[in-house]
Structure 1
Amino acid sequence: MVKNETLSRIKKLPNGARFYKCALQVNPFAYLQKNKKKTTYQSEEDYNNAIVDRCVQEGIEVIAITDHHCIDSALNLIAQAHSAGIIAMPGFEAGTKDGVHILCIFDPDRSPDEIRQILGSCGVTKPHQPPVCGDFDTLELLEKARHKWNAACIAAHVGAPSGLLYHLKKQPAVNAWTSDDLFACAIPGAVDEMPDNIKSILLNKDPQYHRQRKVAIVNAQDVNSPEDLSTPGATCWIKMQSVSIEGLRQAFLDPDSRIRLASDPIPDEHLELIGIAWQGGFLDSQALHFNENLNVLIGGRGTGKSTIVESLRYVLTLEPLGQDARTTHDGIIKHVLRNGTKISVFLQAHRPAKRIFSIERTIPNPPVVRDENGQVLNTTPRDLLPQIEVYGQHEISELTKSPEKLTHLLERFVEYDAGLVKRKSDLARALEKSRSRTIELRRELQAIKDQLATLPALEETLVRFQQAGLEEKLKQQSLLVREERILNTVPSKIQPVEELVDELKKLLPIDKAFLSDRALEDLPDRDTIKRNIPILESFEKAVRKAIDHLVTAVETARSEHQAVLQEWDKRKTEVRAEYERILRELQKGKVDGEEFIRLRKRIEELRPLKEKQATFKAAVLEAEQTRRQLLAEWNDVTTSEYDQLSKAARRISSQLERRVQVTVDFQGEREPLYALMRDRIGGRLQEVIDQLQSRDAFSLKEFADTMRAGTGALQDKFHLTHAQAERLAAADEDVKMQIEELQLGHTTNILLNTAPENSPPSWQSLDDLSTGQKATAVLLLLLLESDAPLIVDQPEDDLDNRFITEGIVPRMRDEKRRRQFIFATHNANIPVLGDAELIAGLVASGEAAIGHASITSDHMGSIDTPTVRELVGELLEGGKEAFETRRLKYGY
């Protein structure tokens, strides 16, 4: 991989919290000796090396060393872990005077002397004192650890002997479990594997033990050997920006977001934006290193939040959905970013293989896509990120105004069916061809009918001539006319073969580049595949030989036919001379023999049309049958699309059971029909359109057939006036066929439950909702089921805090495990209740056109970073729940 300086700079920036694999109850070698545990290691050094090596193998990045009432026994293992790049947190396992074991863990840089003093305050004066802190019971120890010692406490092996829920009974157990100072407990596996009485407490379902904030559950158990580190119950994943007591505290406060047990599913890898950097413009020299989960951009008005969102949209070549969004986007590109500014975006794809791509765009030029080696690719940003979505400020509200765009949003939840897409495309082309062919065949058949309509009169005239004796007198010339017609038909039978020869010549030489050494160089069985080269060469030779034979055959046929014509011309000359003599005699009697011959010639020309008419009738019937079949298949495809959308709508309604309901109307988008009618029929159509729009059920095929049935049928079926129906019935057949072929989109209906939590549902359609409620409904859909990034500028706009806290934030928290979000916001609920992995604070000086924004490293991180925590407190406002959470998280 070629080093990219911009990417290297981005990766050096903080990108917030991430999961660390942690083993939080590792015992030192002295613990094994003191408690007579079996071990294969003869020395502390060997044991420490083995523990550290196994940590590296297992990907364990954080360990806590928790001997019973002793810190000194951990010091060598701590040093050994640090030398291997593993973060070691010092601590001890305390036994309270009421018999409960508690893990007390400290910051990695906490000095041993301070921890010795803490142990002394517990009444522990000797390193190997029995495991009981005689001075404190469980409640007292938890209170001291939190408020005096700055330690993170975990109730060890909570359901086993000496565990809080095992050892304590009745009210003492309730008091300890419901203490505000208890943040976490440890179990050796999945919650479902715990005894039922303990499981209900862990899940916060036991009324007696119920807490406002659940106790965080971690996997941790005694590690007495390297092998113990490989057992599932010994480790868990904890999300922190930096490993610290504050990081653990934030994780314990929000375990659903920040703790993953060994039994929990591993989140799927998803497409993610690594970062963005600017060269020039309002954000000159700035860069951001995105987190793979929830990213929140905060800052005062004019600090550049929207500029970042629109920068991403511009680089990714995504079009705004509405006119207001377009105006905002164009204004930021022109006046804030400005011509000459270079924006670089880096992304990481995981399928089919893990790869990094860069997209660079200098305003106003098109983007350039490169791979990790710097090679320019013949691809577009949309090829790499086909499902990424960017929405500017208020743009989601604009989206709610278009049922068609809502259906496009629903299509995100439909599994892509390449076969159905191809089938639909093929059918659309086939229907267009069938329309052209059917109309052309009908036109030619009508022309034949028009010509044959004159034949009876011509034949009647011929009879009168025959009765006058001209047939016998001009018999030879009459027969000559028939012979000439037959002879002139011969070249028309040769001509198609000659045209076929010309087409065959165009197919040669056969392209064999796909079998070249270069084309096959990466294929393991290329030698077998290359055996097709002589096959194609022989085939080409045979085709050339066949062409030569056909050319010779055509030339021979034409030559021999010409010889026949020359021989026949001799008789034609003789007959013609006799014919002219007879005409001169007839003229003496004032009889026009020339007219008789012209009549005979015209009749001879028309008579073959009867056979041709029969052929065209059959062709028209066949074309009509083919079209009926195509229309039936077209209906099947349309129905299949509708079924897929309906299934997606039902699935979404199920997932958002008490929030949003989605339904789909079959071919509800009728504007393409109205546009065609205005273009091809014209006149006053608004009343007709209103009548058609009022119908819940509408079939294009039925409408076209009724137009064919005539004025009366249209009046009866669609309740039109005589003039309206007459205008429709008079439309060309081409128009009626085009109506049958139209692609009317299915339209999406969204209902939002506007009732408060725990109240009976009150479902309201989008038309009956406020702007903010509409945006809520659509935003809930946007948060669902995608592995592509979602970028939204101030999604809370127009929303009240209840909808954010009860609807948006819970869904965001659930989906961020599987998807990257980048939100710009001024609302505390999103980063605080959503537990944003990365919060980036922006500050600016001067106006956008001449000023400059900056994003400093100390303003990048999650809320366990003090400077970020302070920035959030200064800049953001929120609802009651957000402030309460802030009190828990930030201490105010």
Structure 2
Amino acid sequence: MERTDDTPDDWILLHRRHAIEGIMSDTLVRAIALQDRGGHFYRADFQVHTPRDTQWDGARPTLAERKTWARSFVAAARERGLEAVAISDHHDFAFYPYVKRAAAAEVLPDGTEVPGAQRLVVFPALELTCSVPCQAIMILDAEFPEDRLDDVLKALHFDPVDPKLDSLPQTTVLLDSGDINEIHAKLDKHDWLRGRYIMLPNITPSGHKTLLRTSFQVKYRDMVAVGGYLDGSITNLDKPRHVGEKRILEGGDSAWGSKRLALFQTSDARKADFSTLGEHSTWVKWAVPTAEALRQACLAQESRLAQTEPSLPNVWISRLVVSNSKFMGRVDVALNPQYSALIGGRGTGKSTILDYLRWALCDQPAKSTEDDEVADPRVRQRRLIDATLKPQEAHVEVHCVINGITHAVRRYAADGTVLLKVGDGDFEKVRESVIQSLLPIQAYSQKQLSSVAIRVDELLRFVTAPIQRDLEEIDRKRQEVAGRLRENYGTLERHRTLTTEIERSAVRVRSLAEQAQALRDGLSGLSEEDRKVLAGKAGHDRVREFYVTWEQHLAATQAELTGQGHSVE
């Protein structure tokens, strides 16, 4: 990336790190997206066990080998595309600190540390065996103090197991855990713990110690939990035998209440080769990895939870830089790929930021007419640039991501010059029309929006601008199909012409054959021998055709042999 005076060091470092061979372009896009402070989707597996688990499948590392195991775990999680995990052993936190430190120490291929926003998020968690009877996963804030983890176990009335042991003893049922709400009440007595955990009961259809069992209607209906976890894929709910459970989870069975539960599919990973790690995961959106963020995701599951990878915009503005504004000074804002909002009091510069953005991207404001009560926005925009940017000899730079490729547009206030940089290339001078075609934007002031519906040209622009690329692609395909249709129609016409000609020729051949036969039959004064010669004409014709065919075959064979002879020489 070309360095400029207004390019922060961390931005330079980001591009340098991801320029290393082997880093995929989608990793760079992800890194750019995480520069803002907004919410982002993270692919998470919230039921992951460690070698301490009683049902661990494989060799158990010794106490001295735990750091090495944790590093291999983080690497395996990365290979499987995970961005967050919950270490959820049965009533035990012993391995969590090792995984947490391994994630914090992860490095890029060039040996530099992974930036904080891109590190694997590790939640401390517990798989609880309750006397309900059912199982539940309790997830704490990702940054929950490690020195209070044993206090969490004690709050659950469970004595911590010696962390030096290679494996846990046989799992026992928690005391005073006959109801999910009772567990909440017990934990919420502690100010340091209240609001820093979320409880997800097991709601796997026909699962082991699941809450979805006959006679559990009241417990399910009255529980305070807003989400639950599945052992395996959510697609199992689509099987005919699970129609009833699916209706319950969607809040459609009055006997179980009207609550729609948020669902987290999990892998229940516990194999030494990590083969099941991340096999069933859920994409969760948060800004800060806390239990409250998970609870909010459950409450807004339509927009913050996904069982398959969410579809995100392939064109978005990632960053806005104003080198120096007389009104606002230097501005450097990272934007979210899904949703960004400028919040501030009157006169704090919200509209100014948007005007800078529009000007840099060479937008085409709505045209004013003589009857408009709103001043021409282009006049206002020009005055703003002249008053706040020109005196500072400033420029505005907008970074965009288009189908995984970074683009940077820089526009100078002094003369309106526009530069464009694509990927790792250099800035090049371009026309405004190039930017308008590459990054078409549409913006209206609040007053302008009120006039859109009564002006046909603006209404058409308002509707078509967001889908202009799609319309152009449809038009391209239409022209392509039209060309193929014309070509196919021409071929069809030629076929029809040739078919007609063949039919005519066939008729002429039959006519001539009949005429020849009639002439032969009408000949008089012929001897019997002459008549035999005429009668044998058809046979002679067939022999001649056979002879010509063989003659052609022999000629081709001779040519092939001659060619092989030259090759041998």
**Same topology, TM > 0.5:** yes
Give the counterpart of 2:366 among 303, 321, 333: 321
Secondary structure, aligned partner of 2:264? strand
Return closer, same or farther for 1:211/1:423 CA change in 2, 3 Å cut-off.
Answer: closer
Secondary structure, aligned partner of 1:29? coil
Aligned equivalents of 2:299, 2:153: Cα separation in 1: 26
Post-superposition shift, 1:107? 2.2
Secondary structure, aligned partner of 1:217? strand
Secondary structure, aligned partner of 2:100? helix
Instruction: Name the residue aligned to 1:138.
Output: 180
Letter matched to residue 255 of structure 2? Q
Post-superposition shift, 1:272? 1.2
Post-superposition shift, 1:239? 1.6
Post-superposition shift, 1:215? 2.5
Aligned equivalents of 2:444, 2:292: Cα separation in 1: 34
Post-superposition shift, 1:373? 3.0
Return closer, same or farther for 1:4/1:56 CA change in 2, 3 Å cut-off.
Answer: farther
Secondary structure, aligned partner of 1:390? coil
Check the 8 A contact 1:274/1:347 in 2, yes or no: yes
Return closer, same or farther for 1:187/1:203 CA change in 2, 3 Å cut-off.
Answer: farther
Aligned equivalents of 2:203, 2:197: Cα separation in 1: 18
Structure (1/2) with the larger helix percentage: 1
Query: Could you list the runs of 5+ residues in structure 2 that have no partner in the other structure?
Result: 15-34, 107-118, 162-168, 369-373, 483-569
Return closer, same or farther for 1:420/1:139 CA change in 2, 3 Å cut-off.
Answer: closer
Check the 8 A contact 1:187/1:219 in 2, yes or no: yes
Instruction: Name the residue aligned to 2:139.
Output: 105
Letter matched to residue 408 of structure 2? F
Check the 8 A contact 1:146/1:152 in 2, yes or no: no
Post-superposition shift, 1:397? 1.5
Check the 8 A contact 1:155/1:185 in 2, yes or no: yes
Letter matched to residue 182 of structure 1? V
Aligned equivalents of 2:303, 2:253: Cα separation in 1: 23
Post-superposition shift, 1:88? 2.0
Q: Does 1:356 align with 2:356?
A: no
Return closer, same or farther for 1:274/1:222 CA change in 2, 3 Å cut-off.
Answer: same
Check the 8 A contact 2:44/2:278 in 1, yes or no: no
Check the 8 A contact 2:267/2:276 in 1, yes or no: no
Q: Does 1:374 align with 2:426?
A: yes
Q: Does 1:287 align with 2:332?
A: yes
Query: What pairs up with 1:745-784 in 2 under 5 angstroms?
Result: none
Return closer, same or farther for 1:365/1:42 CA change in 2, 3 Å cut-off.
Answer: closer
Secondary structure, aligned partner of 1:105? strand
Check the 8 A contact 1:152/1:245 in 2, yes or no: yes
Give the counterpart of 2:86 among 64, 81, 84: 64
Give the counterpart of 1:271 among 312, 315, 321: 315
Check the 8 A contact 2:203/2:212 in 1, yes or no: no
Check the 8 A contact 2:356/2:396 in 1, yes or no: no
Aligned equivalents of 1:205, 1:257: Cα separation in 2: 21
Letter matched to residue 222 of structure 2? N
Query: What pairs up with 1:506-585 in 2 under 5 angstroms?
Result: none
What do residues 658-709 of structure 1 show as CA deviations (whole Å, max 9, x unaligned)?
xxxxxxxxxxxxxxxxxxxxxxxxxxxxxxxxxxxxxxxxxxxxxxxxxxxx
Instruction: Name the residue aligned to 1:38.
Output: 57
Aligned equivalents of 1:93, 1:420: Cα separation in 2: 57
Instruction: Name the residue aligned to 1:775.
Output: none
Instruction: Name the residue aligned to 1:240.
Output: 286
Post-superposition shift, 1:111? 3.2
Secondary structure, aligned partner of 1:70? coil
Aligned equivalents of 1:147, 1:364: Cα separation in 2: 66
Instruction: Name the residue aligned to 1:408.
Output: 461
Letter matched to residue 283 of structure 1? M
Q: Does 1:188 align with 2:232?
A: yes
Check the 8 A contact 2:265/2:282 in 1, yes or no: yes
Aligned equivalents of 1:330, 1:375: Cα separation in 2: 24
Aligned equivalents of 1:135, 1:221: Cα separation in 2: 28
Return closer, same or farther for 1:335/1:390 CA change in 2, 3 Å cut-off.
Answer: same
Aligned equivalents of 1:423, 1:99: Cα separation in 2: 63
Q: Does 1:365 align with 2:416?
A: yes
Return closer, same or farther for 1:405/1:276 CA change in 2, 3 Å cut-off.
Answer: same
Aligned equivalents of 1:167, 1:9: Cα separation in 2: 60
Check the 8 A contact 1:272/1:348 in 2, yes or no: yes
What fraction of aligned residue pairs are identical, expressed as a percent? 18
Post-superposition shift, 1:167? 7.3
Return closer, same or farther for 1:116/1:18 CA change in 2, 3 Å cut-off.
Answer: same
Return closer, same or farther for 1:83/1:419 CA change in 2, 3 Å cut-off.
Answer: closer
Secondary structure, aligned partner of 2:351? helix
Aligned equivalents of 1:421, 1:341: Cα separation in 2: 47
Post-superposition shift, 1:374? 2.7
Secondary structure, aligned partner of 1:234? coil
Return closer, same or farther for 1:220/1:419 CA change in 2, 3 Å cut-off.
Answer: closer
Post-superposition shift, 1:300? 0.6
Query: What pairs up with 1:855-866 in 2 under 5 angstroms?
Result: none
Post-superposition shift, 1:288? 0.7
Instruction: Name the residue aligned to 1:83.
Output: 105
Q: Does 1:385 align with 2:445?
A: no
Check the 8 A contact 2:365/2:444 in 1, yes or no: yes
Aligned equivalents of 1:76, 1:15: Cα separation in 2: 27
Q: Does 1:161 align with 2:208?
A: yes
Return closer, same or farther for 1:21/1:255 CA change in 2, 3 Å cut-off.
Answer: same
Post-superposition shift, 1:141? 1.4
TM-score under structure 1 normalisation? 0.43
Instruction: Name the residue aligned to 1:447.
Output: none
Give the counterpart of 2:384 among 332, 335, 338: 332
Post-superposition shift, 1:29? 0.8
Post-superposition shift, 1:400? 1.6
Secondary structure, aligned partner of 2:428? coil
Instruction: Name the residue aligned to 1:205.
Output: 252
Post-superposition shift, 1:330? 4.1
Post-superposition shift, 1:47? 4.3
Check the 8 A contact 2:269/2:277 in 1, yes or no: no
Return closer, same or farther for 1:111/1:313 CA change in 2, 3 Å cut-off.
Answer: closer
Check the 8 A contact 2:312/2:338 in 1, yes or no: no
Aligned equivalents of 1:298, 1:320: Cα separation in 2: 23
What do residues 475-531 of structure 1 show as CA deviations (whole Å, max 9, x unaligned)?
xxxxxxxxxxxxxxxxxxxxxxxxxxxxxxxxxxxxxxxxxxxxxxxxxxxxxxxxx
Instruction: Name the residue aligned to 2:222.
Output: 175
Post-superposition shift, 1:54? 0.6
Check the 8 A contact 2:321/2:333 in 1, yes or no: yes
Letter matched to residue 246 of structure 1? E
Aligned equivalents of 2:214, 2:477: Cα separation in 1: 63
Return closer, same or farther for 1:47/1:421 CA change in 2, 3 Å cut-off.
Answer: closer
Q: Which structure is larger by alpha-carbon Rg, 1 or 2?
A: 1
Post-superposition shift, 1:344? 2.5
Instruction: Name the residue aligned to 1:653.
Output: none
Q: CA RMSD in A?
A: 3.2
Structure 1, 113-122 or 338-347: larger mean CA deviation: 338-347
Instruction: Name the residue aligned to 1:607.
Output: none
Return closer, same or farther for 1:49/1:288 CA change in 2, 3 Å cut-off.
Answer: closer
Instruction: Name the residue aligned to 1:843.
Output: none
Structure 1, 109-118 or 412-421: larger mean CA deviation: 412-421
Letter matched to residue 387 of structure 1? P
Query: What pairs up with 1:380-779 in 2 under 5 angstroms?
Result: 380=432, 382-383=435-436, 385-412=438-465, 413=467, 415-416=471-472, 417-418=475-476
Aligned equivalents of 1:258, 1:24: Cα separation in 2: 16
Post-superposition shift, 1:298? 0.7
Aligned equivalents of 1:236, 1:211: Cα separation in 2: 24
Instruction: Name the residue aligned to 2:2.
Output: 2
Secondary structure, aligned partner of 1:394? helix
Return closer, same or farther for 1:227/1:295 CA change in 2, 3 Å cut-off.
Answer: farther
Letter matched to residue 428 of structure 2? V
Aligned equivalents of 2:155, 2:228: Cα separation in 1: 23
Q: Does 1:215 align with 2:228?
A: no
Letter matched to residue 91 of structure 1? A
Aligned equivalents of 2:439, 2:409: Cα separation in 1: 16
